[in-house]
Every structure is written in structure tokens, then in C-alpha cells.
Amino acid sequence: MYPDEFDYYNADGVDDALDLLDEHSEAGTTELLAGGHSLLPAMKTGLSSPDVLIDISDIETMQGISADGDGLSIGAMTRYSDLVDSEEVAEHAPALAAAAGQVGDVQVRNRGTIGGNLAHADPAADLPGAALASDATLVVHGPDGEREIPADEFFFGMYTTDVGPDELLTRIEIPSADGAHGAYAKKPSPSSGYAMVGVAALLDTDDDGITAARIGANGVMDHGVRLSPVEDALTDGSLDGDTIEAAANRAGDDLDVDMMMSDLQASNEFRAQLLEVYTERALTAAIEDGSSSVAAD
Amino acid sequence: MTEHDIELSVNGTTHELTVESRTLLVHALRDELGYTGTNVGCESSTCGACTVHLDGDAVKSCTLLAVQADGAEIGTVEGLAEDGSYAPIQEGFQKEHGLQCGYCTPGMMLAADDLLERNPDPDEDEIREAIEGNLCRCTGYQNIVNAVEFAANEMGETASPEMTAADGGGDD
Amino acid sequence: MGIETIEADDLDVESVLGSAVERREDPSLITGEAEYTDDIQRPNMAHMSVLRSQYGHATINGVDTSDAEAMDGVIGVYTADDLDVPGEVPTGWLLDSLKTPAHPLLAGETARYQGDGIAVAVAEERYIASDAVDAIDVDYDRRDAVTDPKEAVNEGAPVVHDDLDDNTAFDWEIGDADETDAAFDEAAHTAEIDLTNQRLIPNAMEPRATVAEYKPGTEELEVHMTSQNPHLHRQLMSGVLDVPEHKLHIVAPNVGGGFGNKIGHYPDEALASWCAKETERPVKWTATRSESYLTGTHGRDHVTHGELAMDEKGVITGMRVKTYAGMGAYLSTFAPAVPTYLYGTLLSGQYDIPAIHCNVVGAFTNSAPVDAYRGAGRPEALYAVERMITLGAREMGMDPAEFRRQNFVPSDDFPHQTPVAVEYDSGDYEPALDKALEAVGYDDLRERQEELREEGRYLGIGFSSYIEACGLAPSELAGQLGAQAGLWESGLVRVHPTGKVTAFCGTSGHGQGHETTYAQIVSDELGIPYDDIEIVEGDTDEIPQGMGTYGSRSAAVGGSALATSSQKVVEKAKKIAAHQLEASEEDIEFENGEFAVAGAPERSMHIQDVAAQSYLAHDMPDGIEPGLEETSFYDPDNFVFPFGTHIAVVEVDPDTGEIEFENYVAVDDVGPQINPKIVEGQVHGGVAQGIGQALYEGAEYDDNAQLVTGSMQDYTVPKAEHIPTMETDSTVTPSPHNPLGVKGVGEAGTIAAPQAVVNAVTDALQPFDVDHIDMPLTGEAVWRAVNDAPDAGAEGGDEAIADGSGIDEDGGEN
């Protein structure tokens, strides 16, 4: 309930945050504070005890959503609730919009941020799958300036990403879905609300059927993954239940069940089962409703 | 350990106080400022008993450092009633027996108010979804849902036609 | 929208009893004005934090507190060696075979469960007290641990208490073993089940808390605490801390839910009180949620084998039950009663069963102590009964409703003596069943179930015809059964000179709305307006004595105590009125507060005016003392036995194990209802907790006795989305025992719901031959049951399991 003592700094810009990171790199553990909804609970129960907290949530240049013809640029400190409310996100990144609406609860969505979610890389978080499905590029600032990381290369494993200790995820760029159908289907843990399995789907369609598909899943492996066999099975397929079902049945084809997450909430075998069902639900939702999210109680 | 001089506006009253870095907003409100209507029910950001409004949005005050709220407008249960009359949400909880032990109630009402702000005419599923971050162990939620519907109706009756026409739903 | 409430202004004394008046508790609760224990501030107050064993079972070689003591802001750090008081937490219920190992306030040489207190730190602030506890260094030797009650009593299991030979806390039985065995020997049909009634964490939203203050001048110790029974806590703590009972003042302020978890005497409240005395500072202790999970008493934890014997027509002839009940590491206050007299005595359910035998073995385990949790023993009993009854119907090939009906105790057989000691006071079981059947549209449902099965959809209908026993009584019987306390209740009704009333009751509400319902009772009895009556509970200095609120006893026992006191007030007032009206007492009629001379209604006096006269005392009848207040200690003749039928209707998705409620109907008979809205709320909340047990909740320890469901992130407290909208209805069968005829409703829903849900899910899964799944029925548990079922892959099964391919054959339904 009571965090251990630490020093708190409120960074007023990206450079300031990087300087603070550098300055305290010797001081012990330093953590960046975004929405705080993973970090503060961990600190309150003693699982995390940083010496220094650098609050980046107020950094002006890391806020907000901007859209141009090619896509979206989303500041890393943009809150989930802003993603949910944004017409631009709904239009250009429908899978992300759907997934953001499924994160935690209202209070969490009012504080938690897209950047915090992705950089923390909790395997059961809701946004990694959507970032993968949306073909997001994650922009990172470090001492040597800016670099861009495709979502496909961003997640390394449980709580580990390509962001270095002296770096900062500052924004997320997403190419416009351009009329594609997006959805996110999630089986939440009844206690924590985190995804036992979450599947984000983005489908390009024309009159003949599906022209391209990007499917990302979280909660299944130790980091967000693309479901390539499903994508392959869908591409150039027709928009009917049989195609979807056949594709969904391939959701686990590239994944080793033994390596799937297995915990108190769900065993790896059950996750493998849920993955197929929720892939089908995500695909069905994407096609039937254009853009939506599905969650079971 | 660093300390910070911060300013919190609580229900319209400005308070200046000094807090440690680690002081959680809920403890600043309860222990430093005496707003004990906001309760603490867990430390995992699950139960929502500590829900307050931060610049108008429902947040869990146990998952926010007091220093992070520096300069913010905080709304608590103590500020719901105005000029001695209950807010519609309070009236709803009383009329519909939306509370028993009352411990979750302040947070529940503030979460519900956040919903009604966004969606003045929620259906049952939307209400249940909106309070998923608030646990109640007494009521089984049914009369809480009724309380929120009561408040929505009450607010609908007093609101202007433009406001009631706005539909905050649409995402399913 | 359920029952509509009315405002207090619209009440009149003629109809106050039975009115759904708004609760008078609410204004302070919805404005933040209400004071819970942690809200209390005292000048110069210090804070206590408890160092808890990180291991489930360990020898403590040493505790180094020096770093903690040296911290700024730390006032004192104390271990078992520092405690100079008797300091052993007592057991409030004894059984013949019960072993009662010592339960010290702080563990000295051995920690017996994760969370066992080892040291306390007192500091200027909460955060510092927590830091200080973190700075204490304990030298542990870890030991093997056991948490499963059945394994715990096996030979070779790690022994929780070194001074005992094994972990058997007691070996108890009820009923006639020989007769029961004979019934099974002669049975034409039998049904049997192995089940667990999983360990639950009560989860009152307010964690336990204490503010203790010692006043050296008066030598008084004042303790505000989260208590369901302050007088009981006073009596017990007086012994634990060696503080004379009259110098101990305990107050339960607003209490944020209890569910049984705030009945027992724990070490922590006594430690905070000891620290207050030791430091001569007010001391506050508030449990964190993690601490609540580790150390607050848990509920249930049974492993049971049950058997039902039937004749060739499906008439039940016998029942045999063997249960292993986890006690946890120590015996909590009423723990021994819960799996014995509150469990075995209910095994007859609503049924006329000639022979029952039940054997319960209580086991010490390396886990949090188990005590009453909403229902306490009765949910465990009715879950076993109603699961067996459902399997019995299945064995007979009978409709589960008709099987129940056939075996109900007939309505003309009350009072009904069961073979497990208790005598049911009153009952009429068929109308409740019929109402529930009608509410769900039973006949149509069965047809629809068939149709849906053709489509590969699985609808299930689950019954729970339950019985409940509340207001354990009388005290003499409780004493014979082992209670170390009487189970009466006190009520004091004081009519003030202005005619206003303060009524005091020894129960101690914590969300039940007693201030409202008790005022309705007193208003009805005295004929004094509801708004003129104040109810006081939860303060040992104000209330004569009390036993507290648990076991759904408050209305039946506390309410009856207030009714009895009110009647005594009326009796006395009648004498005064007769005297002043110059009539004989026999000629005075009393109605709605008015004493009138029979046949001369103009010669009358209102009871509130009589009150004024009683204090003026200028003109009193001979031998009558001034004043108008009466006290009673009401000791009921028997338990009361509410009952009802709940029906759950669910659809199960065999691919995911997801369960969706189509309907939940609760028909309860709790006797006459004092306030139907409050009754409805109690049913809703109780059912929600029952559904929580059925589908979501369960405390889990690992092999090292570490609690793995240690937070709300891991232990599911149901959310709004998890609980269906319920339809509630009632029948009314008064109890003949008490002046109000009331029964009790606090636990009914929790007792009824789990088996309604489990019976519904297994009914849905009959095509897969799934007869039982242990709670909680998580998605994975259901999915596994379907896949592991004997018929998985066979007819009816293969189209829906495996990969979900069956579903879309019928046109893409999902």
C-alpha cells in the first residue's frame, strides 16, 4: 500500500527527460512514470522500488493525436480515453481504437497511456496486438537522437522491448487503415481485466473479398505476436464464415503451445483454444460490424 | 527523499500542502486534508473505492502521486451535493437502495458521474461496463444500475433538449 | 426497477412495518460524512504496521529489529517477547474432541501460515510504520507445509502445531450411522458425489482497522474497530489484554461490510490496543488489502463425499456425508461451530429424509484461519445437498423439480424434526418452487433447451431449493453444543420526556440498514412516528450488552429484543395512562400510540404524552417508578428456518467454457418483511456472492503454502458485468417463535446461489455427460470438463468440442 521512498522529477520536455535519465543512471533504479497504472501498483506492493521516478506524462510534445493523409501520429503520453474518443483513431486505426476501449476500466483509461502500455510490454496488455495489426512504427528518442522501430521488431519478450535504458518512446506512427475493417476481441481475466487472450485484426477488403490481413495477438505468448498463418489464410479469401473459420483454426500454427503463457488465469492449452475462438470472433466482428470490439465477461 | 509544495483545488477550495514524492493522492486527501469520504479498498488499482475526479475525469486516487495532481481540480464525494441538495446520482443511490455498507459508494458515484457526463442516457450494459473499475460486495450491483438509471433520467429531465439528444454511445 | 422505495415523510405508524422506506443510513454515506474507523483522527496519533511471516511454515530463529528502531519517526518495535499480557486468542466454541493449540498475538518460535504476525512497528506516520516493518530482519528456517484439509490429516503430513500429534482438530459426527447404513443397504438407487467447497476470501470492501487510545487518568482503553460484535470483542479482548471489562470501551463506527470476517477476535486489534497502552499514544492500524487476504479469516474449504439413498420410486431414504474441513493454522473464534453445528444440522435441506449421518474431520493447515463467511456452514451444507438431489433426480430419470417436490417435507408436517438435531419451525416449500417455476417459464424452457441442443447450443436450468437456519438459539442449546457465549440479544427502548425515542440494540449492523428497520419495528410497536425514533448500535458504553450481527440473527433476535422492550414500555405506559385517565388498566385499549378508554375514545392519551407524565412523575400509579424505558434480553426458543427456491438459467459455450445467464430467479420465504426493499437488496447481494463462489472465486495456496491469489488482481471479486439482473419474489410463512414472526435474509442468497448455478451448468452439459465440475466454474474448468468427459468425441459431443467447427454448421451462429 505504501511505496518506498524515491525522488520524483517532472520532466518538462523530451530532452529534459533524457538528461534526467542520464543524470540518474548511476543513482540506482530509475523508472519513467507515464500513466502509472502498472508502475504504481507494483511500487505499492513492494514489487518495484525505484530510487528515482521521472514523470514524463506532462511532456507537451508527447501528447495528442494528429492525422494527415498518410496516417496518424500519436504522442506516447496520449491517454487511452483520448484514443477511444478520437474520430481520427477510429478512422485510421480502427483496431487500435477498439483495443484501447478494452484496456482496464474507465479510470485506468483516463490515466494510462499508449506509450506506457507499449513500452512496458506486459504480455497481457491490450495494445501490442493492435500495434502489430496496425503496422505501427514506434519512435524512440535517445542520446543520439531519434530512431524508428517497426512494431514487428519492437517487442522482445516479457516486459522487454527494443527501447534502451537511456531512451524514451515518444510517439507512435500508424499508416492509415484507409477503409480497412478493424476489430479487437478479448478474453479478459475476470479479476485483473488483463487479456488472457486478445486478438486485433485489420482486414482490407474489396468486392471480391479480403485483399490483405494483419492480425496481432497479445496475452498468448510472452510478447505480442503476429498470426501470420491466419493472415495468409485470409488473404485473397472470400468474406464468408468458412474462410474465417478456416483461417482462425490456424491461429496457433506458428506458435509453440509449450511456450504459451500459463498462469493462474489460464493454462497454455486453454489459451491455445481461446486463441482460435477469439481470432474467429475478431475476424467476424471486423467484417460484420466494420469496426468494433468484443469482450466476454 | 524529495518533498514537494503542491496546490490542490478540492471541490473548489484551494489547498497548499507539502508532500513527499511517494505520498499517494488518496492519502493527501484523507490524511492531510481531511477529505475522508474517499475510501481505500485495495492497493492494486482494482476496487475503485478511491475514485475521485481529476480535472473532470474519474481516476483512482490510490494510483496517482499527490505531486502529480499539483495544480489539478479534484472532485470528491464531499463536493457532489450543492447548496444542500443532492446531486442526481446521490438521489439515485438513496431512492434505489444502491448502497448497503456505503464503503464503495463515493467511488461508485464518481465513476457513474463520469459515465453520465459522456453518455447521458446509458443502457444497462453501458452502466455495468462503466463501473467495472468499482467493486461492490454488498448490493450485487442491480440497485446500483438502477441508481445510475435514476440519475440519468433525473438529469435528462432537467437538461436542455440539445443535451439529451447527444448520444455518447455508438461504439457498439 | 424492483420494489419502489417511499420517503420517510410518507410513513404512518399504521403501516410502518412492511414499508419499503428509504434508508436513514444513506444521507451520511452518500455525502462522505459517515465515519469509518480509518477516517478517525486523534491528536498525536501514531500508526502501527505488522510484520508478517513471508513463509507458510517456518521456524523463527531470530528477529532483528535494530534497523527499524533506529529509523526516524519510529516510536517502538515489538516482538512476542515484549508482550507482557496473557496474549492468547481464545476459541469461542468448543467441541468434545476439539484440540485447542495456543494462538499467540505474535508468533514466537514458529510461523504457521503466510501472514502470521511476527512483530509490530509503531511510527509517526503510516508510511514510516510500513518502512519500519520492511527493515526488520527475520532469520527463518522454512518447513514443509500443507494446505489441503484432506491431505493435512494423512499420516506423514507436516504437522502445523508441534505440540499436537497430528493435524486433526476434531472428529465430529451427527445423525445415526447405523440407521443410515441400513438405509443404504436397502436402497434401490443411490447417487454419490465428490466435491470441494473451495476456500473463499470474504472481501468486505472496508479492510479491518482499529484506532486504540489509552487514557492513563481513567485507565480506560477506548477502541474503535471494524467489528460485527463490539461487546463480544470487549469480553474477549479484556481477557487477552488483561484489561478489566469495565475499563474497555469498544465502538464500531460505520463498518464497511463484514460477511463474517469482522466477527472473530484477531491478534491485530489487540496488538494496536496494546501498543496504545504501551506508547501512551493513540494508535491506528488499518489492514492493507494484501494483509486482509493473508490474515483475515477465510470461508468454506471443505472436501466432501456425499451419498444419497433412494427407494425404487425415488423417495429419499438416507444420506451419508463425510467432510474434511480446513481450519487454517489456528482456531478462529467461532471456527469449530461452522463446519459442524452450522453444517451438519442443515443436511436435511427441504427434504423429509429418515436417516442422515455426517462425519466431519477438522484439519489444521498452514493457511489463514477459516471462520464464518456469509452463510457459514449452511452454504456448504446446501451445496452438498442440492448437488446430491440433482444427481438423485438424474439417477431416477426424473425431472429435478418434481424429484424435489416429491421429497419435500410436506406443509402439514411442521414443526418438522430432522434426523440431524434441529426442528424446523415453519415451512411451506411447494409454493416457492411453483412461483420460481412460473417465473422462469419452466415448461417452455425445457422445450427450448431441446431445440437449442439441436443447434449445438447448450442451455441449462439449475435448481436450488434451500433451507437456512438463522438466529442460533436458545442459549441453553448453544451451550450444550459448545458455544462459549449465550446467543440472546439485548434491546433497550428509552422514551424521552418529549416523547422522542432512543432505542439501543446489541446487534451491530454494517450495511444491513438496522437503523431503518429497527426504527420501523419500534415505531410499529409504540405507535410513535418513525422520525421520532433513533437507533443506536455498536458502542459498548451505550448499549446494555450484545452479541452482535452475524448468522442473519439481527431481525429475528435483535428486532425481537426491541419489540419485546417496546411491548414492556407499552405495558408500563398503559398503567400510567389508566391511572391518569382514571380508568382501570383492563379498560384501556392501545392502538397506534393512543391509549383510550374502551367505549369512550375521547378519553385518551398518546404514548408520547404518557412519557412526559412518566418523567414529571407528579401523578403516578402506586408502585410504578418514574421514567419510561425498558430493557429486555431476548433469548429465542429456537432457530428460524427461512427457505426458498432459486433457479438459474444459463447458456454454456463448450468451446470457451463461457457461461451466460439468461435468467436468475430467486423466490425466498424469510417470513414477514420489515422493509421489502432492504430484503431485496440482501437477496441481490447474497446471490452475487453465491454466483461469485460458483463461477469466479477461490483462494489458492501453492505447495509452499504461499497464497497465490493474494490480491484483487488474482482473486476475482465479481464485477458488475459478472452478475446478472435477478428477478426476486417471495412467499411469507411466519415463524411461530418470535414476536415479529420474522426469519432472516442476510445469508439466504449466498446459501442458495452456488448450487443453482452449478446445477444449471451441469444441466446444460448433459449431452456431454458432465455431472459435476468443482467450483469455481472458470472457463477453463468448464472447457476441460467437456473435453475430459466420457462422452467427449461421442454422439452429441463431437460437434461442439475440439475446434468449434460444429457451431457454424448451422449457419454461422456464434
> Where are chain B's structural domains?
3-78, 88-165
CB-CB under 8 Å, B36 with C35: yes
The pLDDT of residue C471: 84
C443 and C573 share one domain: no
The pLDDT of residue A123: 96
Cβ-based burial of C665 (10 A; exposed 0-12, middle 13-18, buried ≥19): buried
The pLDDT of residue B2: 84
- Show residues of chain B in contact with C1, CB under 8 Å: 96, 146, 149
Q: Which of A1, A191, A241 lies closest to C808 in CB terms? A: A241
Cβ-based burial of C27 (10 A; exposed 0-12, middle 13-18, buried ≥19): middle
A110 and A197 share one domain: no
Contacts of C38-43 with CB under 8 Å at 24 or more apart are C38/B30, C38/B36, C38/B39, C38/B40, C38/C206, C38/C209, C38/C284, C38/C286, C39/B30, C39/B36, C39/C253, C40/C211, C40/C224, C40/C253, C40/C284, C41/B31, C41/B34, C42/C211, C42/C213, C42/C282, C42/C284, C43/C282
Supply φ then ψ for residue C346, to 5 degrees. Answer: -105, 5
Supply φ then ψ for residue A46, to 5 degrees. Answer: 80, 5
| Boundary (domain end) residue, out of A129, A150, A175 | A175
Q: Is the pLDDT of residue A294 over 80?
A: no
C230 and C307 share one domain: no
**Whose grid coordinates read 514489487?**
A47
> Quick check: is A60 in a domain?
no
- Measure in Å the smallest separation between the Cα of A34 and chain B Cα atoms: 11
Q: Which of A41, A249, A274 lies closest to C803 in CB terms? A: A249
**Residues B116-149: b if buried by 16+ CB within 10 A, e if exposed:** bebbbbbeeebbbbbbbbbbbbbbbbbbbbbbbb
C525 and C412 share one domain: no
Q: Which domain holds residue A264?
A: 181-295
> Quick count: other Cβ atoms within 10 Å of Cβ C132?
29
CB-CB under 8 Å, A187 with C289: no
Cα separation, B108 vs B112, in Å, equals 6
Q: Which CATH architecture has domain B88-165?
A: Orthogonal Bundle (1.10)
> Quick check: is A143 in a domain?
yes
The pLDDT of residue A296: 63
Average pLDDT (A74-91) is: 97
Domain count, chain C: 3
- Show residues of chain B in contact with C723, CB under 8 Å: 140-142
Q: What's A19's domain CATH number?
A: 3.30.43.10
A145 and A227 share one domain: no
Q: Which of the residue ranges B101-115, B156-170, C371-385, C678-692 would you say has the lowest mean pLDDT?
A: B156-170
The pLDDT of residue B164: 40
pLDDT, chain A, mean: 95
A206 and A271 share one domain: yes
> Quick check: is C28 in a domain?
no
Which one of C7, C205, C691 makes the best mutation probe of the B interface by having the most chain B beta carbons within 10 Å?
A: C205
Cβ-based burial of C703 (10 A; exposed 0-12, middle 13-18, buried ≥19): exposed
Cα separation, C91 vs C1, in Å, equals 45
The pLDDT of residue C813: 31
Q: Is the pLDDT of residue C797 over 90?
A: no
C124 and C221 share one domain: yes
The pLDDT of residue C520: 98
Paired with A213 in beta bridges are A203
Q: Tell me the pLDDT band of C803, cut-offs 50, 70 and 90.
A: very low
Residue C672: all three cell numbers together:
414477514
Q: Tell me the pLDDT band of A295, cut-offs 50, 70 and 90.
A: low
> Quick check: is C5 in a domain?
no
Average pLDDT (A101-118) is: 97
For every residue of C205-268, DSSP letters joined together read: SSPPEEEEEEETTTTEEEEEE--S-HHHHHHHHHHHHT--GGGEEEE--B----TTTTTSPPHH
Give the DSSP H or E segment for C568.
helix C560-580
- Measure in Å the smallest separation between the Cα of B75 and chain A Cα atoms: 14
Residue C398: all three cell numbers together:
426424473
A283 and A210 share one domain: yes
C276 and C329 share one domain: no
Domain count, chain A: 3
For every residue of A183-231, DSSP letters joined together read: EEEEEE-TTT--EEEEEEEEEEEETTEEEEEEEEEESSSSS-EE-HHHH
> Quick check: is C187 in a domain?
no
The pLDDT of residue C652: 98
C621 and C663 share one domain: no
Q: Which of A1, A266, A276 lies closest to C780 in CB terms? A: A266
User: What share of chain C in percent tops pLDDT 90?
Assistant: 94
Longest dimension (CA), chain C: 92
Q: Tell me the pLDDT band of B169, cut-offs 50, 70 and 90.
A: very low
Cα separation, C599 vs C542, in Å, equals 42
Q: What's C47's domain CATH number?
A: 3.90.1170.50
Cα separation, A200 vs A126, in Å, equals 9
| Boundary (domain end) residue, out of A35, A55, A75 | A55
> Quick check: is A194 in a domain?
yes
Paired with C122 in beta bridges are C48, C76
Paired with B4 in beta bridges are B19
Parallel, antiparallel or unpaired: strands B73-75 and B51-54: antiparallel
- Show residues of chain C in contact with B31, CB under 8 Å: 41, 126
The pLDDT of residue C454: 97
| Boundary (domain end) residue, out of C588, C612, C634 | C634
A167 and A73 share one domain: yes
C317 and C282 share one domain: no
Residue C333: all three cell numbers together:
473464534
Tell me: the pLDDT tens digits for A206-258?
A: 988 999 999 999 999 999 999 999 999 999 988 889 999 999 999 999 999 99
Nearest alpha-carbon partner for C582 in C568, C561, C597? C597
Tell me: the pLDDT tens digits for C673-705?
A: 999 999 999 999 999 999 999 999 999 999 999
**Whose grid coordinates read 489539478?**
B72
Give the DSSP H or E segment for C289.
helix C289-295
C346 and C332 share one domain: yes
User: What share of chain C in percent tops pLDDT 70?
Assistant: 97
Cβ-based burial of B160 (10 A; exposed 0-12, middle 13-18, buried ≥19): exposed
Query: B with C: how many residue pairs have Cβ under 8 Å apart?
Result: 188
Q: Tell me the pLDDT band of C603, cut-offs 50, 70 and 90.
A: very high
A213 and A263 share one domain: yes
A20 and A111 share one domain: no
> Quick count: other Cβ atoms within 10 Å of Cβ B17?
15
The pLDDT of residue B157: 83
Q: Which of B94, B101, B146 lies closest to C30 in CB terms? A: B94
> Quick check: is C115 in a domain?
yes
Tell me: the pLDDT tens digits for B38-84?
A: 999 999 999 999 999 999 999 999 999 999 999 999 999 999 999 88
> Quick check: is A149 in a domain?
yes
**Whose grid coordinates read 451491530?**
C508
> Quick count: other Cβ atoms within 10 Å of Cβ C621?
13
CB-CB under 8 Å, A41 with B45: yes
Contact B123, B170 (CB under 8 A): no
CB-CB under 8 Å, B49 with C26: no
Cα separation, C714 vs A265, in Å, equals 8
C619 and C657 share one domain: no
> Quick check: is A1 in a domain?
no
Cα separation, C563 vs C633, in Å, equals 11
CB-CB under 8 Å, A191 with C804: no
Contact C672, C742 (CB under 8 A): yes
Tell me: the pLDDT tens digits for C204-262?
A: 999 999 999 999 999 999 999 999 999 999 999 999 999 999 999 999 999 999 999 99
pTM: 0.96
The pLDDT of residue C1: 61
> Quick count: other Cβ atoms within 10 Å of Cβ C185?
9
Q: Which of C30, C41, C511 lies closest to B138 in CB terms? A: C511
In words, the CATH class of domain B3-78 is: alpha beta
CB within 8 Å of C624: residues ≥ 6 apart:
C572, C575, C576, C579
Q: Which domain holds residue C357?
A: 302-471+638-810
Q: What is the dihedral of CA B60, B63, B68, B69, to 10 degrees?
A: 20
C341 and C353 share one domain: yes
C589 and C721 share one domain: no
- Show residues of chain A in contact with C130, CB under 8 Å: 1-2
Beta strand extents in C53-200 (DSSP E only): 58-64, 74-79, 110-111, 117-123, 137-142, 168-175, 189-197
Q: What radius of gyration do chain B's Cα atoms show?
A: 16
* Phi and psi based region of residue A64 (left: phi greater than 0; alpha: psi -120 to 50; beta: remaining): left
Edge to edge, the sheet with strand A71-75 lists A65-68, A71-75, A168-175, A137-142, A145-150
> Quick check: is A2 in a domain?
no
Angle between helices C560-580 and C514-526 (to 10 degrees): 30
In one letter, which amino acid is C76?
A: G
A27 and A80 share one domain: no
For every residue of A232-294, DSSP letters joined together read: HHHTT--SSHHHHHHHHTTTTTTS-GGGS--SSS--HHHHHHHHHHHHHHHHHHHHHHSEEEE
Angstrom distances, CA of residue C264 to CA of A194, C369, C373, C528, C711:
35, 10, 11, 37, 22
C502 and C451 share one domain: no
Cα separation, C684 vs C696, in Å, equals 17
pLDDT, chain C, mean: 95
Q: What's C495's domain CATH number?
A: 3.30.365.10
| Boundary (domain end) residue, out of C634, C656, C690 | C634
Query: A with C: how many residue pairs have Cβ under 8 Å apart?
Result: 71
Contact C681, B139 (CB under 8 A): yes
Contact C309, C190 (CB under 8 A): yes
Q: What's A236's domain CATH number?
A: 3.30.390.50
A71 and A143 share one domain: yes
Contact A239, A209 (CB under 8 A): yes
> What's the 3-state SS for A42-81?
HHHCCCCCCCEEEECCCCHHHCCEEEECCEEEEECCCEHH
Contact B57, B117 (CB under 8 A): no
Report residue A14 CA to chain centroid gap.
22
- Measure in Å the smallest separation between the Cα of B106 and chain A Cα atoms: 14
